[in-house]
Amino acid sequence: MPTATLEGKYTYEDYAALPDDKRYELIEGELIMTPPPIIRHQMISGEVDFAIRSFVRQRRSGRVFSAPTDVVLDNDVVVQPDVLFISNERAGIIGEANIQGAPDIVVEIVSESSAHIDFGRKKRLYDRYGVAEYWIVIPDAEAVEVFSRTEKGLVLSRRYEKWESLESGLLAGFRMELSELF
């Protein structure tokens, strides 16, 4: 089992030494165990993954990955977004064992236990490390909030409700009917 550094913070090396029987994320040196997702979460994740993957595959515009895929943003920041997209132009960040840098699009599906992290700490991290679009799927509200990169960082560009079609500023022409998610 890894041990924290003298400052009490974990590093990527500590994270990589963890057993594979549980899911963890490393957020600014803090190890956070993520519980197994519930069925509704998995159904939504599968639909989002399918919609983005189908669109990207048809256009041959990049790669789509699903959790658990390690995204190493720094030596003390390793996250596992539910779904992520990396454009062909940025394919160099795809390593053999993990993603080494900020994806173009990150999708997180919130639960009651993860909302404060997804809307707070992770949003700040994704902003700091250069994610271009951050989608937060809110199952209980049957909505998706899309944050887009501007000169001020990641800002809420639009909240989509269950009866609407989500569009991406990064994936020109992409549309996903949210009624298929909820």
Residue 51 has a pLDDT of: 98
Q: Averaged over 101-113, what is the pLDDT?
A: 93
Write down the residue that tokens 């029987």 correspond to.
21
Residue 20 has a pLDDT of: 81
Cα–Cα distance measured from residue 104 to residue 170, given in angstroms and rounded to the nearest whole number? 8
Residue 87's H or E segment, with its range, is strand 83-87
Pairing of strands 133-138, 143-150: antiparallel
Give tens-digit pLDDT for 25-84. Answer: 999 999 888 888 999 999 999 999 999 999 999 999 999 999 999 999 999 999 999 999
CATH number of 47's domain: 3.90.1570.10
Q: Which residue has the higher pLDDT, 23 or 173?
A: 173
* Burial class, 118, CB count within 10 angstroms (exposed 0-12 / middle 13-18 / buried 19+): buried
Residue 3 has a pLDDT of: 44
- 15 occurs within a structural domain: no
Whether the predicted pLDDT of 7 surpasses 60? no
Task: Report pTM.
Answer: 0.92
Residue % of the chain over a pLDDT of 70: 96
- 10 occurs within a structural domain: no
- Which residues, in sequence order, are CB contacts of 149 under 8 Å at separation 6+? 130, 131, 132, 133
- 13 occurs within a structural domain: no
- 7 occurs within a structural domain: no
Domain with 46 in it: 37-180
- 25 occurs within a structural domain: no
- 11 occurs within a structural domain: no
Name the region of 8 (left: φ>0; alpha: ψ -120 to 50; beta: rest). left
Count of structural domains, the chain: 1
- 140 occurs within a structural domain: yes
- 169 occurs within a structural domain: yes
Q: Averaged over 154-178, what is the pLDDT?
A: 97
Residue 51's H or E segment, with its range, is helix 39-59
